[in-house]
Amino acid sequence: MNKAPTAADHPADQREEASARPRNRRGQGLLLREEIIRAATALIVRTGSDQAVTLRSVAREVGIAAPSIYAHFPDRDAIVEAVVVEAITQLQQTIGAAVAAHDDPVEALLAGCAAYVDFGVREPARYRVLFGWARPKPEAPADDASGRQGLDAFQMLVDSVDACVRAGRSSSTDPFGDAVALWTALHGQVTLRADLPGFPWPPTDTVEQMARRLGRINP
């Protein structure tokens, strides 16, 4: 006969974590899930790496027992992916708002590029985890939520270059290829500024220069 688990069956630190935080009321499971994501994000921001995210560290940050996480995430990789998806969503919304604020396609392209770099500079740890975390290989392409949203964010850049072409403001004959070149340059701008803060970087208006040159914007 199976013996019902008792308090003695759980490590003392897990019992302390469980007692440090009151249980959510019925229907508040989504709230706990959001708290877990916020806790993981805070750990990444403080340490600059997703390696700080473990079930135990996240549980300690939230004030719950580590096993409580399994009701919302199967493992630590799923938690990190949720952080990545949230960051990509915010980045996409930030770029979208910047683009939508301009009717002129060139100004919209420049604003979107500036918003991308601004996000990366303001959120270096969250930006780094977008590209640096060791994501497990999905069982099927449809399982890769962060990858899908990343492609959606990139498509906004392709659409912006294409809008300039259709308006006769860009000489690009390959909006996708030119968008890849522009994204590569923007990514380099963000990562190099984060990794080499002591370098005498020129003003951030170099973003506009890159966008005009690589987007093949007509003079």
**What's residue 55's pLDDT?**
95
Domain end residue (candidates: 49, 73, 97): 73
Cα–Cα dist 216/213, whole Å: 5
Task: Identify the band that residue 197 occupies on the pLDDT scale cut at 50, 70 and 90.
Answer: confident
**What's residue 206's pLDDT?**
84
Cα–Cα dist 161/180, whole Å: 11
**What's residue 152's pLDDT?**
81
Q: Domain residues for 110?
A: 77-214
**What's residue 131's pLDDT?**
86
**H-assigned helices in 10-166:** 12-19, 29-47, 55-62, 76-100, 105-122, 124-132, 145-166
Residue 84 and residue 48 share a domain: no
Residue 154 and residue 101 share a domain: yes
Residue 206 and residue 127 share a domain: yes
Residue 154 and residue 117 share a domain: yes
Residue 184 and residue 130 share a domain: yes
Q: Is residue 127 part of a domain?
A: yes
- Tokens matching residue 161: 């270059």
- Give the predicted TM-score (pTM) of the model: 0.79
**What's residue 204's pLDDT?**
63
Cα–Cα dist 83/191, whole Å: 19
Residue 68 and residue 95 share a domain: no
Does position 12 have pLDDT exceeding 90, yes or no?
no
Residues 32, 65 contacting (CB under 8 angstroms): no
Residue 85 and residue 165 share a domain: yes
Q: What is the pLDDT of residues 105-125, one digit of tens each?
A: 999 999 999 999 999 989 999
Q: Is residue 7 part of a domain?
A: no
Q: Which of 178, 189, 187 is nearest to 217 (CA)?
A: 178
Does position 134 have pLDDT exceeding 50, yes or no?
yes
Residue 89 and residue 33 share a domain: no
Number of domains present in the structure of the chain: 2
Does position 27 have pLDDT exceeding 70, yes or no?
no
Domain end residue (candidates: 41, 73, 105): 73
Q: Is residue 4 part of a domain?
A: no
**What's residue 29's pLDDT?**
60
**What's residue 158's pLDDT?**
95
Read off the CATH number of the domain in which 177 is found. 1.10.357.10
Does position 181 have pLDDT exceeding 80, yes or no?
yes
**What's residue 28's pLDDT?**
55
Residue 41 and residue 81 share a domain: no
**What's residue 25's pLDDT?**
46
**What's residue 93's pLDDT?**
94
